[in-house]
Amino acid sequence: MSEAPGATGAAAGVRSALAGNLGRLRLARGLSLRELSATTGVSKALLSQIERAEANPTVEVLVRVADALDTSTSELLRRPLPRPEIVRTSALPVPPGEIAVHLLFSSHEHGRTELYRTVLPPRSRSQASTHGAGSVEYVMVVSGRVTLMADEVPYPLGPGDAARFSGTTEHYYTTAEEGAVTHSMLGYPRT
Q: What is the pLDDT of residue 139?
A: 94
Letter string b/e over residues 153-166, b meaning 16 or more CB atoms within 10 A of that residue's CB: eebebeebbbbbbb
Question: What's the rounded Cα separation, in Å, for the pair 8 and 75?
Answer: 21
Q: What is the pLDDT of residue 72?
A: 84
Q: What is the pLDDT of residue 85?
A: 76
Predicted TM-score (pTM) of this structure = 0.55
Q: State whether residue 39 is helix, strand or coil.
A: helix
Q: Please report, in tens digits, the pLDDT of each residue of the chain (191 residues total).
A: 344 444 567 788 889 889 988 988 898 888 999 999 999 999 999 999 999 999 999 999 999 999 999 888 888 887 776 677 788 878 878 778 766 657 676 665 556 778 888 999 999 999 888 888 788 899 999 999 999 999 899 999 999 999 999 988 899 999 999 989 999 888 887 65
Find all residues with CB under 8 Å of 25, minimum gap 6, and list them. 69, 71, 75, 76
Whose CA is closest to 120, among 162, 183, 52? 183
Q: Which helix (H) or strand (E) holds 19?
A: helix 9-28
C-alpha distances in angstroms, 179 versus 140, 159, 171? 14, 11, 18
Q: What is the pLDDT of residue 66?
A: 92
Q: Which helix (H) or strand (E) holds 158?
A: none
Contact 164, 105 (CB under 8 A): yes
